[in-house]
Structures are given as structure tokens and as C-alpha cells.
Structure 1
Amino acid sequence: MHEQLSLGSSVPPDTPHAVSVSLPTWRANVGYEEGEAWVIDSMTTGYPRFFVHKSIQALAEEIVCRFGTPEDSATLFPSPKPATRCREFLLSKLPPVDAERVRVVNLVMQSVQTSNRNGSQPATIDSSLSCVLYPKEYSNITKQVWQHSGDGISSRRSEFSLKLLKDGYLVEEGSAQQEDTQPQRPCKGPRRYQKGSLSNIQAIVTPSKKDLGSSEPPSEGREFDQYVEERFGRNLDPSMANNAKLAVRRRIAGSLTANGELSETLRTVSSGGRIAGLTEDHVLLFPTGMSSIFNTHQCLLATRGQLRSICFGFPYIDTLKILQKWGPGVQFYGHASSEELDELEKRLESGERFLALFTEFPGNPLLKSPDLERIYQLAAKYDFAVVVDESVGNFINVNVLPYADVVVSSLTKIFSGDSNVMGGSAVLNPHGRYYESLMATFKKEYEDNYWAEDAIFLERNSRDFVSRIERINAATESVTEQLNASPLVKAIYYPKYSETRPFYDKCKNENGGYGGLFSVTFHSSAAAVAFFDELNVMKGPSLGTNFTLSCPYTLLAHYGELEWANSLGVASDLVRISIGLEDSADLKSRIQHALDAAEKAPQNLASQ
């Protein structure tokens, strides 16, 4: 049987940039939500939008030491625009007396300042940063921006930037420092993360341990680009990242329906995949899936004006928070039912107007599928945009683009699979009613803030995503059949068994399946706890991984609003499972072991 990972270790194990963290028992999940020290102190990492990676913490401490005060904290972004947005959000919540202590520090690479003066382009990637400094007692407010928008810097970027900052090549914008000036000596402030968290850098960035701990400036007169090449490796050349991003965008456009190496992908001429005329030119990349949703919403507001949005169906928590906190508000329909569409239609007939309808296909964690065809018809009649999150369905299984103006996705999930890199995408329907105006806005507002190393990892991970999805589809159908036959199980939430299956099937591709995600509830909470604790798979947040991953989803996502979730049919003791690439027979054996434990629980079905 699979051995449980220790509490707080990375998932996958020994992965410096892991997307998940081990919370192996029900009690550990509750302890995490309660902030209990025995859980929090053991965590080496966490889901990146909820847990600030230790390399990012180290960089923030260095920046505060250099540019702030001991009473400050810093939140880090890849460019001035998201940093300014964070500052504005923070100022809207602060008393005036503290507002003057909030500022943005823009850091740029010294060679970029020099090259901009002579008009040439830098030969290496730009690692500029924008840092919001503020009184540390307000970090809970900036954390909302970090979590909901998904626009913060990545851990790989922070490692690169910290070394540049220490060696004097990352400087405050507009500073008087010239290229031939000796770099600034490192800050002597807090350093508790700087050695251990930066020592395991894989594949692309491989500096020596001596480099990682070095505080000595580079040799006088040394060329910057030579320095970066020798210290970080040639794979940070911009062309590598650009080719990786192009390959990813072509795969997302759907022009590739088989596994392929990078060279093959770059030779492929896009001819339309998901719908006629769709190419990589209609695909935008973002640092995270939430960033794609956040920025799509911002683009819609800039294009269509300040109108409320519709959130249709039980959403991933941050989608609803985005619509509530950044804009005029949201009309929420939590069941994704036909009756709610009837109610919406009455609102529209009465003259109420909306910016856009945001929905997931299928939803998470109940895997309900909204009636996209009817929604799109209403949108055409009453003039609102449709934004569909396909992260759970994925475009190999379903094609929702004909019923959407924008399709967003978390590439962190099954597209990557390896659970070691974040990413997001937005696909604009070239035949949509708002295509021309949205594309015009995106051309003005879009920033490619996807970090070079992250793009390279994502491209490599996604080369075999087609075959992985086919295997996962088959294994998940087998496992859900097993659970559906158990008298211990109260309900299985899976598109194949859902009352909304006709809506899913309408969008299912000819060779598509029902995905790798499902949820299960039991006839008693004790049985649910016993099943989860004895299920011999990795345990932690996220989904769409190449390995099976489980969590008590409602506890993790809605611990502070369990009654609200329960009112929408999302049980507090729901167990969510994302199936991976393990052998089906092995998975079923593990499931049976957990069912046997559930049967022995004190309040199992037999005692009801």
C-alpha cells in the first residue's frame, strides 16, 4: 500500500515548487483551518495562492530590509499594474492615518536601465518587480489580493530575483546607480529562509551552493549578460520561454490532439481546433488560473462598463470573491438549475442588465453541468458576455467554446499534471459578439507576466496531456462504479451520474470522457472521516494531478462558511478525489481498503 506523506511535506514529495501540501488526516485539515501550531509549524509549503512560498518570503524580507522599516511587510508583483491595484485595494480599507505608509517600490534590472538608454534590447529576460510596502498589521488585506487575483510573483521568479537583488543587479527604478558602480551590499536583516529554501533548484536554474550563500559582488567590469548566463544557465534566454509559450498556446487552441515534443509543436501550423478559425492568437497566458479569471473580469469592465455580473452555479471560492470585491457586485445563483435560469430570465425581461455570466463546466465539487446552450441564447438576447471555466472538464473531454465568449482555465491542473508549476489561460471566441471589443481592450491592457521558467516547465509537462487524460478518464469511471455500488455511499458526484449529464453530453467531444474528478458523501460523518483517513493516496489541496489526490474539500475551501455551503447542497463531510495515472486495479484496492475502514466506523450505515 502507498505510504502517507508526513504532515506539511510537499506534494509531490521533494519538489521545491510543489503546488500542494500533505494534510494526511481529517484532523490535520481541521487543524490547518483552525491555525493550530502543530499543523502550521510543520508546513514546508502550501498551495501558492494561499501559502506564500518561503523563497518569496525571503525576497520580501530582503526588500523590506532595504526599502522599508521593521514595522513593514511587502507583497510582490511582477509589474506596476497589479501592484498599483493592490495598493488601491489596501488604501480603500485603511484609516487615513496609515495611508501614507503604503507605497510601491519598482525594482528593475540594472542592465535594462542601461539598455533602455542606448535603445538596445537586453539579451536576457527582464526580472523587474513591483513591491507594495505597508504596515504589517494589514497583511490580511493584501493577502486577499494575492489569493483572489492570482497575480503575485511565482516562487521560481522569486529565487531568480533574490539573487539579482543580493548581487546588486536589481535596483530601484530611477536610482542613480550606474552599470559600472559596485553593487549594493546585501541586507543584514532576517535570513531564516535564505539557505534551506533556496538550495533545491531543479533542471533549469542550477547555481552552486557557494553561489546561493554568497554575499560577494561579481567581479568589477563583468558583463551583466555573461554573469546571468554563468550563474543561471542559458535556458533563461527569452527565446526559450517564448517558444514554450507558443507551444502551450497552440496546444490550448486545440490544433494539437496528440502528444508531441516542442520541436513538433513549433512546426505545426494552427488550422483551428476547438472551433473553426481558432488559433494561438486567440489564447492569452496568465500566471495562474485565477489570474485569467480576474483579468478577464477586469477586461470586461473596461470594455462594457460598470455592470454587475452573474455567478451561476456553486463556484470555486475565489471566483465569487473576485466578482464581489472588484466591481459593482454580483447576482449569485448557487444551484446551476433550470429554475434559476427561469428566475434570471425574468430579471432580464424586466430590464435588468449584467456585464457577464461566470460559470464552471462542470462545477466543483458537485460536478454539475450548467445548460450552456440556454445560457448563451439568453446572453445573445439580453446582451451579456459568457465566461466559462473549463478547468475541471478540460478541452480534450468537452468543447464549451461555442457557448462562450471567453473560456478560462487553470493550467496548473491536468494540463500540467506534475503539480510543480502554476499557470492559466483565457481563450477568446473569435466568433463571439464581443470579440472585437474584448481583443482591442486586451491589446491595450494585457501584460505577459508569465515567468520564463514557469512557462518552460509547463510546456514540458503538457507534452503528453492527451494520453494522460484518456487514461485518467478510464480509471475514474472504474473507481466511481465501485463506489456507486457500495451501500456505505450516500451520493457520488460525477458528470456521468449527474442529473445534468445531458448538458455535459451536449458539450462532450466524440472521444472525450467524464474527467478525473469526483466527490463522495457517506451516510455518516464518522464513515467519511474513516474513509478519508484510511485512503492510501496523497492528501492535499489541488486537483488534476498525475497522481491520485484527495481532500475534505468543503472543510478546506469553505471552513468559515460551512452553513452557507450546506444550504447549497455541499456537505461539510464531502470527500473529493482527483484520480491520477495509477493502475486501476491498484486504485480500486485502495478504495476498498478505505471502504472497509468506513464500514467499521462507530456510526456507519449499519447503525443508522
Structure 2
Amino acid sequence: MPGLLATPLPWNQTVGDTVPPNTPHAVSVSLPTWKSNVAYEEGERWVLDKMQCGYPRFFIHKSIDRLATSIVQQQGDLETEKAMLFPTASCGRRCVEFLIQQNPGVDATSIRSLDFIPHPDKIPSASLKRVLPRATAVVYPKELWPTAKVFWQHTGEGMSSRHAEFCQKAFDDGSMVERSTLSQPNTPRLSKGPRRYQRPMSLDHGTPQDTNGHGGSTSQEDKSNGNGTTENGVPDSALFVEERFGRNLDITLAQNAKLAVRRRIAGSLTANVELPHSLETKPDENTNQRDREVPGFSVDDIYLYPMGMNAMFHAHRVLRTARGEMPSIMYGFPYVDTLKVLEKFGPGVTFYGYGSAEELDDLERRLQSGEKLLSLFCEFPSNPLLRTPDLKRIRALADRYDFAVVVDETIGNFLNINVLPYADVVFSSLTKIFSGDGNVMGGSMILNPQLPYYSKLKQVQETEYEDKMFEEDALYLERNSRDFILRTDRINVNAEIVANMLRAHPAVKQVHYPKYSPTKHFYDNCKLPNGGYGGLLSCTFHRMEDAQVFYDYLETQKGPSLGTNFTLSSPFVILAHYNELDWAAQFGCEATLVRFSIGLEDEVTIRKVFDYALGAIPQADAALSK
């Protein structure tokens, strides 16, 4: 496929380095050995001290931490207080409420939310068409950090790293100030010491164009001299931002980027064309197009969020607002934070962790006895076991007993499957294969106009929805997603190759992949005619020693996240459930599980990489026999 990656990124063996390498806003971090993953979970300094980044909901990016420290230094006490940063005041209010709720003995006055806005005297009228710096900081006692971190991780409400860089510059030059300093101009601004971090905003000097697999455009903004820089020596990614925005983010261009993203999600934009021309193109009847197949569905039913978990959090929140407080169901073993949101926000959840027909039987008995439910959440398919729920039966139960169905389509990918006809709400992480580059976060929520709760949900969204996706993040997301269709097709093929290789090896206990799952028929019910089985799979090993050797010898990128244009591997259960391994094992998530997010490598390369790692396993047998 022209323009797609032919060889993998260099294997990154450096603990704590960004994945992809040299990417300041990377969403994954290199944990190249089994030992380094365990050490990360156990908090060993030889790993933690080397971490340049991490998955953004688990790791506070250095640019965010820098701005938070600057704010506490100016507005509080660095010895006793910390700050958590959010894109809007409403996000900050929800954080304050959570901190107080989870710490009933705390003095509520010790937690405060500060809104930072543009200084009117430093914003010329010519800047009114530009994005202006705004931020909310929740300042709280340091001892509440664990609770604040839980809110950050589970809800995805936090500020993005690019947004923090943008606001840092404005904070340093005084063009973004705390709101109360403007309402009382004669009151001197509280200061706790000299300003720090007086440095220019960094650019995303990431890997050169096409390094992560995207086909190049032919516009002037993307022309380079072939070594990742322009003729003037400026990195491609930096020039991309400078020419589009000049770091003064144009509102119209950013709005166009968000509209293009929503149109791609809707299925009405399939061409690999840059803005603004892409918004003028009509769908090509000759493309491998997939659509939602729901009458009345439009781009207006799609809402963007700064990350996938934030879309999930707000799906739950919108349903509670529209229908009232009732318990929910989590069906199937899910990604960990989905279950945590349902547990910690609202009246609770029943967890059906096996995703079995027997659990649906139990649910039906409860509903027949009069139990009322808000919603049923499920993944299609699940992560990391790749099991698929029976959406037809779930939809029939929802229609009969009056509850909403919410489906996470991230793993299946809406180019492979169409779950919207069965769901009241569909959400997805755009951070994953939709972007592919691993350098920006994003999420989406979709409402089904044909199902009963649509009017109520739409009404809530009209009053509650906030567009919190930072404009520069939207620009990267739009650019990354232009060749989404081609990349999906290639990754589908590669994933099946790897699944077949793993299934043939005697050391592998089980391969989890939708095509070979006992729930394949449920997947096929929603599989599109030109769709595949996705790019995610996992396997378990008969022996822990074999899993460890295989992982250590596997020459792919290794770290959290998935959906990257390069193959990314992880001992997922060790990372996600290290402190609850026995609990996870009862649902089939064994400690030997290794998860693979397959990329765009050519078949020869991908076979060679997995053959080498599988071939290393007998070496462990020889070592153990001595």
C-alpha cells in the first residue's frame, strides 16, 4: 500500500523512553522487559526515575506538572499544596466535588478552584479569531493527591499536555491571569516567590513524516528534504503547526479539523485529503466505505471529547442526568477504568465479568422481578480477551425492560463493525487506531437517533456538552486520521497472520482473537462486508517463564496503549491488574497474558519478529533443566 509503513520503528530498548521515540507528546512509554513492567508496578526507582512520559491518564505529563507548579507557586503554598489542571471550570468543579465526597473529613475550604482567563489588556482585538488561553486549576492539600489522581485517571477530565504548554507561555508573559485579579484591580496579586519555568513553548518535534506510517500529502506544509526537516532545517511536525497556526491557534481552522474528524467517524468523509478541501469532497462510491446504516443519523449526533475515557465518563453522566439515578450493568471483562467509573460515580454497578449467556439469563430474571436499570455497558470486543457480547439479545432485553445500551467500539473499530443499530450510545477512543501515531489523545460519543432515549440525551447534550478538545490536539488528530481506512485494512491482515503464528506454537496456551473466539458469531453479526477482525489480540502461555522469555525477546515497541501504526506489545494483566492478579485470573485474564496491538509492518518483517521471540522459548527450557 503506497504511503504506509514497510518496516517497524527501531526497537526501543531504553526504559522510560517515549513511544514513539523522540515524541514529546507520546501516549506510551517504553517498558521493554518483563522485569521493567513489574518494577513499574512495584514503584521501583530505577524505572520511575527514567520515565519521560506515560499514558496520559496514568502519568502527569511534565508540561502539565510544570504549569501546575507555577500556579501553586503564585497562588498557594508549594510546601503544602498541589494543583490539578483542567480545560474548563465545570471539570474543576467536578474534581472538587469528588475530593470532598471521597474525603468526608477534609476541610472543604482547603480545596479551591481557580479560573485562569485571558488578560484583556494583553489580548489585542486582532486576536479575537484566535484561540485564547484558558485553564482551571484545583488547588488542594498534598495529602489528597491519591484521590485527585484517581479522578484524573478514571474520568479523563484533565488538561492535555499541548494545552498546558500553550497556557504556560501565556501564564509566564502575563497574558493569562487568575480571574479574581481582574475583578479586583487594586488588589495586589498573591505571589509566593519568583516566577519559574520562563521558557518558550515546546513543539512536537516528533518523528519525521511517514515514520509512523501515514501517507504524505503533497501540500507545501508537508514538503521536506527527505531527512525529516524542511529546506530551512525546521522539523516537519513543527512546520505543520507553525504554518497552520503560527502557535496562534486559528479558531476557524481548528473548527474545520474537528468537523472533519466527526465526518470521518460518521463515514461521510473517506478521502485522504487535507483541510479545508476535504470538507468539500463527497464520499467516493469506489472507496472501501463503511457507514452507520441508521436512518436519520448525522454528524450532529457525534460529540468529541479529549480522550476516550472522558467520552465514557460523560456517556454515564448524561444517562444519569437524562434518566435519573439507577444502577448499571458492566457486561464482560472490561478495560479497568470503565468498571471503576461505574463503581465510583452514581449508585453502583453489577459486574458480569464472564460476558456469558448464563449472566444474561440472570439479568433477565432480575429484570422480570421488577429491578430497574439505568444502562448496560459492554465492549465490542472486549479488551484484552477479545470476547464479543450478544448485542442482539442485549438490545431485545433493553427494549423490553427499559434500559440503555452503551457500547465501546474502540477495539472493533467502526470500519470493521457497525454496532450503532443496537446501542443507544456508542463511544470510542480516537487515541487508538483512528490516530495511529501515538502522539495525541481523543474520544467520541455517538447517539442513536432511532432509539427511545435519543430526545432526552440530545436535550441534555444541548445544555451540558462542552467542547474540551484542545484545538492543537484536534489538528494533529485530523491529520493523523486521513489515511485511517488504508491503515485499518493493512492492520487487519497483519493481526490474522500473528494470531495464526501464535496458535501454532506449543508454548502458547490460548490465543484471544475475535476470529477464533467462541463468540465469533456475535462479532460476525455486526461485522461489515469489507470489515476484518481488528488489530488487537492477546495470548497466554502454559508457563510464566515462557511468557517472560518471549516478551523479552520480542523486538517490537513495548508499552501501554494500543492502535498504533507500529506493533506495540504489553504484559497487559501485569500492568492493569498487578494488585489483583487472582481476581483477574478467575475471568480468564491470566498473569502470563501478553497483548499485541498489531501495526503496519510488512508480512516478512512481522513474521521474522514473532518467529525470533517464539524461537527463544526453548532456550528457557534448556536453562531451567540445568
Is TM more than 0.5 here? Answer: yes
Distance 1:575 1:162, change over 3 A: same
**Residues 384-426 of structure 1: CA deviation (Å, up to 9, x unaligned):** 0000000000100000001101110000000000000000000
Match of 1:38 in 2: 46
Gaps of at least 5 residues in structure 2 are 1-7, 207-220, 222-228, 230-240, 285-289
- 2:118 is aligned to 109
Contact map agreement 2:172 2:195 (CA 8 A) in 1: no
Distance 2:577 2:278 in 1: 40
> Once the 2 structures are TM-superposed, how far is the Cα of residue 523 of structure 1 from its aligned partner?
1.1
Q: In the aligned structure 2, how far is the partner of 1:4 from the partner of 1:415?
A: 23
Task: Show the counterpart of 2:3.
Answer: none
The alignment status of 1:10 with 2:18, answered yes or no, reads: yes
The residue type paired with residue 364 of structure 2 is E
Q: Which moved more, 1:268-277 or 1:254-263?
A: 268-277
Residue 54 (structure 1) aligned to one of 49, 54, 62:
62
What is the Cα deviation at residue 432 of structure 1? 1.5
The TM-score with structure 2 as length reference comes to 0.88
Equivalent in 132, 137, 145 of residue 131 of structure 1:
137
* Residue 174 (structure 1) shift: 3.6
Please list, as runs of the form range in 1=range in 2, the aligned pairs for 1:332-481 lying within 5 A after superposition: 332-481=351-500
Identity %: 53
Contact preservation (8 Å) 1:5, 1:24: yes
Of 76, 96, 103, 2:85 maps to 76
Change (3 A) 1:323 1:85: same
Deviation at 1:177, TM superposition (A): 7.5
CA contact (8 A) 1:112 1:122 kept: no
Deviation at 1:185, TM superposition (A): 9.4
Q: Which residue number corresponds to residue 215 of structure 2?
A: none
**Per-residue deviation at 1:175?**
2.3
Secondary structure, aligned partner of 2:370: coil
Matched, 1:176 2:194: no
Residue 82 of structure 1 aligns with an amino acid whose one-letter code is C
Q: Partner of 1:602: helix, strand, or coil?
A: helix
The residue identity in structure 2 corresponding to 1:72 is E
**CA shift at 1:230, angstroms?**
12
State whether structure 2 residue 29 is matched by structure 1 residue 21. Answer: yes
Stretch deviating more after TM superposition (121-130 or 587-596): 121-130
Q: 1:284-303 maps to which residues of 2 (within 5 A)? A: 284-303=303-322
Query: Which of 259, 269, 272 is residue 256 of structure 1 equivalent to?
Result: 269
RMSD: 2.8
Alpha-carbon distance, 1:200 to partner: 4.4
Could you tell me which amino acid in structure 2 is paired with residue 127 of structure 1? P
Q: Which amino acid aligns with 1:274?
A: R
Say if 1:232 and 1:512 are closer, same or farther in 2 by CA, change over 3 A. Answer: closer
After superposition, give the CA deviation of every residue in 1:64-96 in whole Å (9 maximum; x if it has no partner): 001111210000001111100100110123354
CA shift, 1:127, in A, is 2.3
Cα distance in structure 2, aligned partners of 1:234 and 1:185: 28
Deviations 1:249-290 (A, max 9, x none): 000011234533333431146899312332211100000000
1:150 pairs, out of 141, 146, 156, with 156
**Which one-letter code corresponds to 2:117 in the other structure?**
V
Q: Which amino acid aligns with 1:464?
A: D
2:436 is paired with a residue of what secondary structure? coil
SS in 2 for 1:600: helix
1:333, 1:603 → 2: CA distance?
42
Structure 1 portions without partners, runs of 5+: 207-227
| Cα deviation, residue 575, structure 1 | 0.3
Q: Alpha carbons of 1:549 and 1:390: their partners in 2 closer, same or farther (altered >3 Å)?
A: same
**Which letter does structure 2 place at the counterpart of 1:322?**
V
Checking the alignment, whether the CA contact within 8 Å between 2:165 and 2:202 is kept in structure 1 is: no
Q: In 1, Cα distance between the equivalents of 2:447 and 2:267?
A: 13
Task: Look up the match of 2:292.
Answer: 274
Alignment deviations for residues 271-314 of structure 1 (CA, whole Å, 9 cap, x no partner): 99312332211100000000000011100000000000110000
* CA displacement, residues 454-494 of structure 1 (integer Å, 9 cap, x when unaligned): 00000000000000000000111111111111112110000
8 Å contact kept, 2:23–2:204: no
Instruction: Give the Å deviation of 1:128.
Output: 1.2
Inter-partner Cα distance in structure 2 for 1:20 and 1:418: 11
Conservation of the 8 A alpha-carbon contact between 2:489 and 2:532? yes
| Cα distance in structure 2, aligned partners of 1:184 and 1:155 | 26
Distance 1:378 1:113, change over 3 A: farther
1:93 to 98, 102, 113: 102
Which residue among 254, 268, 272 is the counterpart of 1:241? 254
Q: State the match for 2:4 in structure 1.
A: none
- Relative to structure 2, which stretch is displaced further, 120-129 or 391-400? 120-129
What one-letter code is carried by the residue in structure 2 that aligns with 1:92? Q
Number of the residue aligned with 1:307:
326
Aligned: 1:165 with 2:184: no
Shift of 1:121: 9.0
Q: Name the SS for the 1:139 alignment partner.
A: helix
C-alpha contact 2:168 2:201 (8 A) present in aligned 1: no
| Residues 12, 21 of structure 2: 8 Å contact kept | no
Instruction: Quote the Cα distance in structure 2 between the aligned partners of 1:114 and 1:472.
Output: 47
Provide the TM-score with structure 1 as the length reference.
0.90
